[in-house]
Structure formats: C-alpha cells, structure tokens
C-alpha cells in the first residue's frame, strides 16, 4: 500500500470547487482523488461535529457509482460507516442526512456534460461554506491508496422521506383534475415524481425517460427542449410539465402552453405562496422580485447557493420567515415554516420539488400557471452560455473591460446606449440606458461563459443574449 496526503493529491488533480461543489473531468476523479476529497471533508467536519456515519448518494451519470465506491472505501479506512442511498435527488440526500445529524456526499455533476462529474458536500447542518471548501483543499491527512472497490448496499429511506416531506403538507388531493407531464430524462428523482404527484391527485403522464445521461441546464434550456414542451402541451393538454436538472435540485416547470418558466420567476411565485418575509437571491435574478412588493427585504448576493445560505443567518435575526432562490430555479428554505397547519422544516440547499408544489397549489384558486406568471412579471430575463469557452478568457474579458464598459459595448455591437451603472458582485453586470441589463460571468462549474439579460420584453432580453454571445468570441483582450 502507498501512503498518500490529501492536500498533495487534490492540488495535483486539476479538480477545483465551482459555484457549488467540486467539479472536473471524469478522468480527473480517480479513486485516490475521490478518497482524498472524502477524507479531507471528514476531517473538516469532525472539527465541529460528532458522528459515526456518513451518507452518500449519486446521480445517473455512468461515472458516479465508482466515485461513490471510492468515497465509501476511504471513509472505511478512517472507521466511518457509509449509508448509501443510491440514486436520489441531492435535496433528498441532504434532508435525510440532516434528519440523522450526519454529514453527506452527493456524487453529481448537476447539469454539466456527462464527461464531467463532481462532489457536493453537506455538513450535518447543511451545505458546506466557502471556508469549508478552502479547508478541504488545504487539509493534510494521510490515507492508503485504494485497491479493489467493494459494492455498496442501497438503502431506500432517503427517497421515501423526501417524498413524505411534501405529501404530509396536504390532507386533500389538491391536484385533482390537473394533468401534469413529467419530463423524466435521466433525472436522479425520476422514479419519485410520478407517484408523488399522483398521490396529490394529479393525472400524470411520464415523458421521454433516457438511458443515457442528459445534461439539462435550467438556465439555458435548449431549443430542442423548448419545442418538446410546447409540442407535449399541445398533444396532451397539460396544466404544467415538471422536470429537473440531473441531480434534481433545480426545477424546470412549464405553464399550460409548454413555455418553460424562468427559475427566478418560479422562485418569486413560490416565496409569495409561502409568505416569506425576507429573501436572499443572487445578483443575476430578475428585478421583478423587488418590484412585486411582496417581501419586506431582498438581499442580493454572489451567484451560488453557499452565498445565498450565508445570508440566511443575518436575515433570520430580523425576520421570522426567510427563503432564497436562484435564477436556475433552485429554492432554498432558510427557516422552518407552516403550510396548511403542517410544519415544514428548513432545508437550506437547492430544492426542485417545493417550488413546483407551491406553484401548483397557487393554481387551486382557478388561475393558470401563465396567468400567475403574467401577474408578477414586470421585467423579462433571458440567459444562455457559450460552451467550451476557456474560463481564463472569460476572466480576461471581464477584467479588461471593468471600468471601460463603453469599449466593451462597442465590440458587442450595442450602439446607441451607455452604461448607467455597473455591478461587479459576480462578473460584470451593466445597467444600460433605457433599462436594459447585460451581465457576463464565467460559469463556476465548467468552461463556459454565461450571459444574463433583462429588458422590458422577453423578445428584447433574448435578442440581447443572442447578440452578446454572438460577438463575445471576437472581443479583444
């Protein structure tokens, strides 16, 4: 056996922490790299918590099971038992682990392509912090290089507990008369959603289950998936279509016409239905949130769930009901709340089911999903990204033109407008004359450059994104 050091292995791996979790190419996540991450995480949380086991779950990527085996083998070296929950949504794992007061590891690359993967880490009280990330990367702990990996025994409790969390809120089948489509693809929660919605009273039609991994990005839905939803709605007469990204923590939900909702508009509708007093949301979210007047306070953060969660403690000191959401639709419940007289515990990690259920409960009064969206949308957003765009070049563009935004506008072909103000909280967000917003930011999870736009119409927002991403590759740095 060869003795290895966690910090040395991780420094040489090429894997880094992104917006949420460690991400890299599958080939970079060797058994020893997975082991180093698991042990460094173990040692980090041991400094604050006492526990005798750790939970692990995976998504449907071909590489995820072997990564889970490696993590479990490493933990066994350190005398820590593994509870393996199999393929379940990330929030299901987080919830089950928090209920047991133990840490957990989710093996997932979320929405990034199948040739990449990642690890998400949860303390017994929720997602790790950015300080925890630095501790994991820098911690020096020894371990033995892994040999043959053992099979894992699957425990099914996490999936059932996650579904029960939401079914317990309703004593009547409030979705009776509704027809819901479930776009299953390769989502980690695809086996849970149909029976859950059926128990809530809905007629459910499953759609397009895939044996191959499908990287659904809820912030940049492909033209193909947009057309599918419209066609399905026309064919089946759905009241809504529900789906998620690969690990089931970001929702993708359509109205009755098959138009996918923007994640931040979905979050706004969910937060209103919950009666949240204060919100923490990333800077990329639609300004309709503030314009709605539905909340006593809205705090803007950097992009990424750790930054949203970091604001919850501050907000909870002033407000009794705290929540957050991201432009990708992931909803984070920052405080315990009550729905229909039933207690719902806080779940400070991205969740896809809660916003979907709360949106559908809002339609119980007779309004359609599109009517609810129209009522709250004051401004319109669009977003997309350029794939395989070097992160370093993205950073160079933003660094070079911060303070010289007029020159960037000229290269992007945005004529007749000037920059009224700039927000550099995360990337370069330019507020332009006439009310348009253009926001450039490197992805924290993959070599991609993202563009967010906001305008007075949906068509204008989409046109801005298309023009900017069409011109960005030619920008001089």
List active site positions.
Answer: 110
SS3 273: helix
End-to-end CA distance of the chain: 49
* 8 A C-beta contact, residue 113 and residue 62: no
Integer Cα distance of 73 and 281 in angstroms: 38
User: Residues with Cβ < 8 Å from 449, sequence gap 6 or more?
Assistant: 385, 386, 389, 393, 394, 397, 440, 441, 442, 443, 469, 472
Angle CA(269)–CA(275)–CA(278) in degrees, nearest 5?
A: 90
Question: Which has the closest alpha carbon to 354: 337, 371, 377?
Answer: 337
Integer Cα distance of 421 and 438 in angstroms: 11
Angle CA(307)–CA(308)–CA(313) in degrees, nearest 5?
A: 100
The number of C-alpha atoms within 13 Å of 442 and in the hemisphere containing its C-beta is: 17
Query: How many angstroms separate the Cα of 21 from the Cα of each of 341, 387, 389, 449, 474?
Result: 35, 19, 20, 18, 31
Question: Which has the closest alpha carbon to 278: 307, 309, 318?
Answer: 318
Ramachandran region, residue 62 (left: φ > 0; alpha: ψ -120 to 50; beta: rest):
alpha
Burial of residue 389 (number of CB atoms within 10 Å: 0-12, 13-18, 19+): buried
User: Residues with Cβ < 8 Å from 18, sequence gap 6 or more?
Assistant: 118, 443, 444, 445, 446
Mode of pairing for the β-strands spanning 322-325 and 331-333: antiparallel
Query: How many angstroms separate the Cα of 194 from the Cα of each of 11, 160, 258, 442, 470?
Result: 43, 13, 18, 36, 39
Integer Cα distance of 332 and 341 in angstroms: 20
Question: Which has the closest alpha carbon to 78: 122, 138, 142?
Answer: 142
């Amino acid at each position: 056996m060869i003795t290895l050091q966690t910090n040395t292995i991780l420094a040489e791996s090429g894997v880094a922490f992104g917006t949420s979790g460690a991400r890299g190419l599958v080939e970079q996540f060797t058994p020893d790299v997975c082991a180093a991450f698991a042990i460094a995480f173990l040692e980090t949380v041991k400094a604050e918590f006492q526990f005798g086991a750790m939970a692990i779950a995976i998504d449907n990527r071909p590489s995820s099971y072997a990564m889970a085996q490696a993590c479990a083998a490493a933990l066994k070296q350190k005398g820590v038992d593994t509870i393996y929950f199999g393929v379940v949504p990330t929030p299901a794992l987080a919830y089950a682990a928090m209920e047991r007061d133990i840490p957990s590891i989710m093996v997932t690359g979320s929405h990034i392509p199948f040739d990449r993967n990642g690890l998400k880490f949860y303390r017994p009280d929720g997602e790790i912090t950015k300080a925890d990330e630095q501790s994991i990367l820098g911690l020096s702990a020894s371990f033995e290089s892994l040999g043959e990996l053992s099979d894992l025994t699957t425990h099914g409790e996490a999936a059932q507990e996650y579904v029960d969390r939401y079914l317990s809120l309703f004593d009547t089948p409030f979705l009776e008369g509704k027809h819901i489509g479930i776009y299953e693809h390769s989502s980690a929660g695809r086996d849970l959603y149909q029976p859950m919605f059926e128990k809530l009273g809905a007629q459910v039609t499953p759609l397009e289950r895939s044996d191959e991994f499908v990287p659904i990005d809820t912030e940049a839905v492909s033209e193909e998936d947009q057309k599918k939803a419209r066609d399905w709605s026309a064919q089946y007469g759905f009241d809504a279509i529900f789906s998620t990204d690969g690990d089931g923590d970001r929702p993708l939900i359509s109205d009755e016409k098959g138009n996918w909702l923007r994640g931040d508009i979905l979050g706004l509708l969910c937060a209103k239905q919950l009666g949240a007093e204060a919100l923490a949301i990333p800077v990329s979210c639609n300004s309709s949130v503030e314009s709605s007047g539905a909340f006593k306070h809205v705090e803007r953060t950097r992009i990424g769930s750790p930054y949203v969660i970091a604001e919850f403690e501050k907000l909870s000191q002033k407000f009794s009901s705290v929540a957050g959401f991201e432009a990708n639709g992931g909803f984070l419940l920052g405080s315990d709340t009550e729905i229909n007289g039933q207690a719902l515990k806080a779940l400070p990690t991205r969740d896809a089911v809660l916003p979907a259920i709360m949106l559908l409960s809002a339609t119980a009064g007779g309004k359609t999903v599109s009517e609810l969206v129209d009522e709250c949308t004051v401004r319109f957003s669009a977003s997309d990204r350029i794939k395989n765009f070097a992160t370093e070049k993205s950073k160079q563009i933003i660094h070079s033109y911060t303070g010289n935004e007029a020159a960037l506008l000229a290269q992007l072909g945005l004529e007749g407008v000037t920059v009224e103000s700039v927000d550099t909280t995360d990337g370069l967000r330019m507020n332009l004359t006439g009310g348009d917003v253009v926001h450039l930011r490197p992805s924290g999870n993959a070599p991609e450059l993202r563009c967010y736009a906001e305008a007075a119409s949906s068509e204008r927002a989409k046109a801005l994104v298309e023009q900017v991403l069409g011109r960005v590759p030619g920008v001089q740095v």
